[in-house]
Amino acid sequence: MSEAPQLKILITEDNIADCLIINKLVKDQGYQTIVAHNGLEAIDLFVKEKPDIILMDALMPKMDGFEAAKRIKLLIGDDFVPIIFLTSLNDDVSLVSCLEAGGDDFLSKPYNSIVIAAKIQAFKRMVILHRTVQTQRDEITRRNEYLLQEQKIAKKVFDNVAHLGCLGASNIKHLLSPMSVFNGDVLLASRKPSGGMIVFLGDFTGHGLPAAIGAMPVAEIFYDLVAKGFGIEKIIYEINQKLNTILPIGFFCCASIVDINYSWERIKLWNGGLLDILLKKNNGSVRPFKSLHLPLGILSTKEFNAECVEYDMKVGERVYLFSDGIVDLKDSEEKEFSLNGFADYLLKSDDSDEVFLHILEQEKLSFERNMSNIDDVTFVEIKMISEDVISNKHRLVQNSDLRGARDWSMSFEMFNQTIRDFNPIPLMLHITMEVPELRIFNNDVCMVLSELITNGIDHGLLGLDSQLKNSANGFQQYYNLRNERLNNLSGESLHISLRHLPDATGGVLVIRVVDTGEGFDFRAIDLDIPKASQMSGRGIPLLTRLCESIVYEGNGNAAEAVYRWEKTQDNNLL
């Protein structure tokens, strides 16, 4: 304590003889003293000298100690300046008056030097402790403000990376309720260049910044790969690999991922460690999809399985994804929110607005109860819509300088192993997107490319019958056969050539795919718009709408599509 600055003590005493004694006693203890002879002087000296402790006589002329103490306490504010009453009054009423005036202790006459020393020493410790606490409090407040400021800036960057993508689409409803600036949940949605969309809901271990930071690479990979036309499995694979590399042991990301295909009215789902994904069907039933995988970021690429479940999803049907925070919610009867309960609710309700209100209400109730352990709550509903509903304005329009490749051709040939292991569509799409004006037609080009290439492989090289895909069981059979035949491929190749040339109104992209297979009866494929019940066979009719011409040659193992684009007003703005 000897290093602490000397404390200043204000003595207020009207009796000069008493004042001499107490002043001497206090000075002998090593404190600095200042003296006032009545209440008014005491207030004046308090303001001017800012003493650390006040000794205050009770009865004084002009203004007594009670009134002076009250006024000084008002001036003290947040600080702690103890007031010790000097008094020979010893009846209870007088002592209560001292306390009511804001007094912290009493010293009674006759003064005892030992008692005075002990009391001042005790208050000195309290004053120092109070100051330390205040300094630390101010320091914490400053640091907290600084941290919040930093978080706000970081959050801006974060939001730019992990943006909401196409979550504003008319067929998506979502609820994101972060419990802090940074959220351990991540919700991403992006339209596929080939039509349809992929929605990713992730829930990282923990809360706040450490949990949120993992969302940045996830979002980057997700948006990058979806835009480039990669399939859902590849995207899940890449995200897992990235998280496995960067996350410390014990940290991971539970995730539900849904790939929605409007033209086939089918969904592909992958659930690693999250609550069941629920599908509310048009017939009123609810189909749950359990987690079949470990969360992302745990398994190495070798052990990891990105295999998805495929399922029919008709127009108007809705799929629900949840983060784990939702189970922390309690309803009005204090029962915990259960997924089964929610599924029951879904069974009863056909109104999706009502479903959302139900969840919001429970969230509000939980929040009002100020549940400290509540997790971030994220909830999303995606409705299957028919392809036509999606307007061009949602298409990916990438910024472009006007320089680019406009007159060129290229060819790419794949052999057995590459045909089996490599998806050429992103690469081909990447090259065609070097034509700046074509970027807005990304979707169309991707669809044409994938149809021709898929047909070349599936029907040309593997001899698969697309009629198989007309039934739900057939789908599985189709994919089993496909895998089997891909593994046994030998001596085959697939040749893709692309050529782009500008013309007066826009440009022409010619896509030619030639396979070494035995060919297939392309004439058997109905070129008219298929009946709604047909699951497959939609590909080629769709192409005839998109392309200026589509020609199959020979046995059907050479296909050439001519895609013509025209400059529109929008295009000139690019």
Partner 1 sequence: MNFEHLNETQINELALMLGDEFPEFVRTFISHSGELISSLKKQLYTNDNDAFVINIHSLKGSCRNIGAEQLANNCLQIEVVARNDTIAVIDPELMSICEEFNTLKVTLLKLARI
Q: Which residue ranges make up the site for partner 1 (CB under 8 A)?
A: 14-18, 20-21, 24-25, 28, 59-61, 88-89, 109-111, 113
| Residue 294 CB coordination number (10 Å) | 16
Residue 116 CB, shortest distance to partner 1, in Å, is 11
CB of 28 to partner 1, least distance (A): 7
Choice between 60 and 232, CB closer to partner 1: 60
**Closer CB to partner 1, residue 15 or residue 571?**
15
Residue number with CB closer to partner 1 (117 or 397): 117
Which is nearer to partner 1, 113 or 291 (by Cβ)? Answer: 113
Nearer to partner 1 among residue 23 and residue 32 (C-beta): 23
Cβ proximity to partner 1: between 120 and 172 the closer is 120
Give the side-chain half-sphere CA count within 13 A for 431: 18
Paired residues of 330 in beta bridges? 336
Residue 493, H or E segment: strand 493-502
Residue 416 near residue 525, CB atoms below 8 Å:
no
Based on CB atoms, which residue is closest to partner 1, 59 or 129? 59
> Integer distance in angstroms from the first to the last C-alpha of the chain?
74
CB of 86 to partner 1, least distance (A): 8
**DSSP E strand boundaries for 262-355:** 266-272, 277-280, 286-289, 309-312, 318-322
Give strand pairing partners of 412.
496
CB of 77 to partner 1, least distance (A): 31
Tokens representing residue 403 in the block? 């320089």
**38/432 with CB nearer partner 1:** 38
Q: Which residue has the tokens 């409007």?
A: 262
Residue 429 CA to residue 434 CA, distance in Å, equals 9
Distance CA 220, CA 142 (A): 34
| CA atoms of 230 and 424, how far apart (whole Å) | 9
CB of 60 to partner 1, least distance (A): 7
The residue with tokens 């320089």 is 403
Closest contact distance (angstroms) between CB of 19 and partner 1 is: 9
- Give the shortest CB-138-to-partner 1 separation in angstroms: 41
Place of tokens 């001519």: 562
CB-wise, 108 or 544, nearer to partner 1? 108
Alpha-carbon gap, residue 49 to 57, rounded angstroms: 19
In angstroms, the CA 460 to CA 454 distance is 9
Q: What's the min distance (Å) between Cβ of 47 and partner 1?
A: 25
Reduce the secondary structure of 167-200 to three states and give it as a string.
CCCCCEEEEEECCCCCCCEEEEEEECCCCCEEEE
CA angle 358, 363, 368 (to 5 degrees): 130
* Least distance from partner 1 to the Cβ atom of residue 117, Å: 12
Q: What is the sign of the dihedral through the CA atoms of 42, 43, 49 and 52?
A: positive
